[in-house]
Amino acid sequence: MAEFVTLEVSDGIGTIRLDRPPMNALNRQVQEEIRAAAREATVRADVKAVIVYGGEKVFAAGADIKEMADLSVAEMTDIIGDLQSALGSISEIPKPTVAAITGYALGGGLEVALSADRRIVGDNAKLGVPEILLGIIPGGGGTQRLARLVGPSRAKDMVFTGRFVGADEALAIGLVDQVVAPDEVYNAARAWAAQFVGGACRALAAAKAAIDEGLDTDLGGGLKIEQHLFAALFATEDQKIGMASFIENGPGKAQFTGK
């Protein structure tokens, strides 16, 4: 039974809840519990979309520095791959994912949020990668996912300075997608996730894979990935249902089975 990270499912939406007071510091136990929750959300058929939520006051204020302060280079070399893959495990969920952020999302906390497909924040949110102030750099995927999201120049500004970015600036640079009142963050995330509960889940997974995998190659390679995933969907029930419904009733009325 997980101590700090749980998956709660209702109405087709899974909520991965981080709950390690006071600041949801991401020690190794929390990291592995995030990985386990992401895996559970992946395999559960009743989960159609996923919210990652740290609670009403804070998303996650980074790694547990006390846990890593005295590690040697050999010890960190042994565990950095696990740390990186655990914080990035939300990106491996083949379903729409959204990070619901109130308060601080810093360091490893922001890296978890960057692994989601979308980020919704309260207007009190503070986001950043302040590792440089500790004499290190982001190691949970931050240098790579941040640069891909906001571009290298803005990513370097954030990483080099370690400064915190407020909600309005985060929206302006594309770091987040929506800003709401803090007490509306979770509801806004549920509203976004609810769109996909009755959706064609295999097509959604294919769309996510096509975009994410395509970003790791050139245009030609990405188009090949798209071709393969597009053609494979013609083996699904949802493709037959969706096209038959369109012909008979017009768009948007199909009742998908998820098969």
Q: Which residues are catalytic?
A: 111, 131
The pairs formed by 65-72 with CB atoms below 8 angstroms and a separation of 24 or more are: 65/134, 67/27, 67/28
Query: How far is Cα 157 from Cα 166, in angstroms, rounded to an integer?
Result: 14
Query: 190 vs 17, 44, 83, 167, CA distance in Å?
Result: 13, 18, 28, 19
Written as one string, the DSSP assignment of 168-217 is HHHHHTTS-SEEE-GGGHHHHHHHHHHTTTTS-HHHHHHHHHHHHHHTTS
* Residue (of 153, 154, 162) closest to 126 by Cα position: 162
Do residues 99 and 38 make contact, with C-beta atoms less than 8 angstroms apart? no
- Residue 28 CA to residue 14 CA, distance in Å, equals 23
